[in-house]
């Protein structure tokens, strides 16, 4: 059987249920077992940073991962590389936030913390997604890399930030949004290139807006039945819902085991 390079989004694809009470369907576990048995390369593809995703990678039984929205790659449980955001553009955006009164925080390294200059970000968001460290007088110029920026505001207010148009961003919470890499296909290609594979042998599974970037014409894209319409329109084909044997049925259809 021709070896395939198969990449899975996590939430709504591999894992189903509400945050804090998610699980992997038994049929998905069986599909993963059979895929490994047949020699395919399996990886997760997530927007989360490596530090925030590595434990889940292990919990899901994987040792390969595209992380950091495409900017990080892990192969055989070894972090190969993480590319930061454009430094000058990030500093300029933070300066604009300061000028316009937007509370902000940023991640200067591969860790589970973010830094912020005062308590306004925490008071506005009351967010516990990751550790937020208040450092009075914080200046991004004291750090040589920026991996993510977090900006507090309600939906629509971010339109006031003109420099935001120069950076990738997404919103998962009503109180703030993330400035972070947003092209999973970049990490997928880097892994396949590293392993000497062919893009035509790539298969991706996803369900949400942040998966659009990895639904490329260069390979096979499978949208879950619970996926957004925009992703389904770009998919090679649409399978059943994630909690209705979607991954297992798609793998059968593709004759992967």
Residues 75 and 93 in one domain: no
Residues 65 and 115 in one domain: no
- Overall pTM > 0.85: yes
| Domain end marker among 163, 179, 195 | 179
| Domain end marker among 179, 196, 218 | 179
**Predicted pLDDT of residue 18:** 79
The residue range of the domain holding 104 is 87-179
Residues 101 and 158 in one domain: yes
Residues 126 and 164 in one domain: yes
Residues 115 and 161 in one domain: yes
Q: HSE-up of 179 (CA within 13 Å, CB side)? A: 32
Residues 21 and 9 in one domain: yes
Are 38 and 4 a contacting pair, CB within 8 Å? no
**Predicted pLDDT of residue 21:** 84
Residues 136 and 74 in one domain: no
Are 156 and 180 a contacting pair, CB within 8 Å? no
Residues 94 and 152 in one domain: yes
Residues 208 and 171 in one domain: no
Q: Name the percent of the chain lying above pLDDT 90.
A: 94
Q: 159-204, pLDDT tens digit by residue?
A: 999 999 999 999 989 999 999 999 999 999 999 999 999 999 999 9
Residues 196 and 217 in one domain: yes
- 197: closest CA among 43, 34, 37, 10? 43
| Domain end marker among 179, 195, 213 | 179
Residues 79 and 187 in one domain: yes
| Mean pLDDT within 55-61 | 91
Q: 113-169, pLDDT tens digit by residue?
A: 999 999 999 999 999 889 999 999 999 999 999 999 999 999 999 999 999 999 999
Domain count, the chain: 2
The rounded distance, in Å, linking the Cα atoms of 147 and 83 is 8
Residue 193: CATH number of its domain: 3.40.50.1000
- The string over 126-149, giving b where at least 16 C-beta atoms fall within 10 Å of a residue's C-beta and e elsewhere, is ebeebebeeeeebebeebebbbbb
- 3-class secondary structure per residue, the chain: CCCCEEEECCECCCEECCCCCCECCHHHHHHHHHHHHCCCEEEEECCCCHHHHHHHHHHCCCCCEEEHHHCEEEECCEEEEECCCCHHHHHHHHHHHHHHCCCEEEECCCCCEEEECCCHHHHHHCCCCCEEEECCCCCHHHCCCCCEEEEECCCCHHHHCHHHHHCCEECCCCCEEEECCCCHHHHHHHHHHHCCCCHHHEEEEECCHHHHHHCCCCCEEEECCCCCHHHHHHCCEECCCHHHCHHHHHHHHCCCC
Residues 78 and 12 in one domain: yes
Average pLDDT value for the chain: 96
The rounded distance, in Å, linking the Cα atoms of 73 and 11 is 19
Residue 159: CATH number of its domain: 3.30.1240.10
């Amino acid at each position: 059987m021709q070896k395939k390079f198969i990449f899975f989004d996590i939430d709504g694809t591999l894992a189903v249920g509400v945050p804090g009470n998610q699980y992997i369907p038994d049929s998905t576990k069986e599909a993963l077992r059979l895929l490994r048995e047949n020699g395919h390369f399996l990886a997760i593809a997530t927007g989360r940073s490596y530090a925030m995703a590595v434990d889940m990678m292990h919990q899901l039984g994987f040792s390969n991962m595209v992380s950091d929205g495409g900017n990080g790659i892990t192969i055989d449980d070894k972090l190969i590389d993480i590319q930061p955001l454009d430094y000058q553009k990030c500093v300029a955006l933070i300066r604009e936030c300061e000028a316009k009164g937007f509370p902000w925080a940023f991640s200067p390294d591969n860790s589970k913390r973010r830094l912020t200059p005062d308590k306004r970000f925490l008071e506005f968001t009351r967010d516990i997604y990751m550790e937020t460290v208040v450092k009075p007088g914080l200046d991004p110029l004291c750090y040589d890399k920026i991996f993510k920026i977090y900006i507090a505001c309600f939906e629509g207010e971010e339109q006031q930030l003109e420099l935001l148009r120069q950076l990738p961003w997404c919103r998962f919470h009503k109180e703030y949004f993330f400035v972070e890499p947003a092209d999973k296909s970049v990490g997928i290609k880097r892994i396949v290139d590293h392993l000497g594979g062919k893009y035509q042998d790539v298969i991706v599974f996803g369900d949400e807006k942040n998966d659009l970037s990895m639904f490329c014409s260069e390979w096979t894209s499978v949208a879950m039945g619970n996926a957004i319409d925009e992703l389904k329109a770009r998919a090679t084909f649409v399978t059943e819902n994630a909690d209705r044997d979607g991954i297992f049925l798609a793998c059968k259809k593709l004759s992967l085991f």
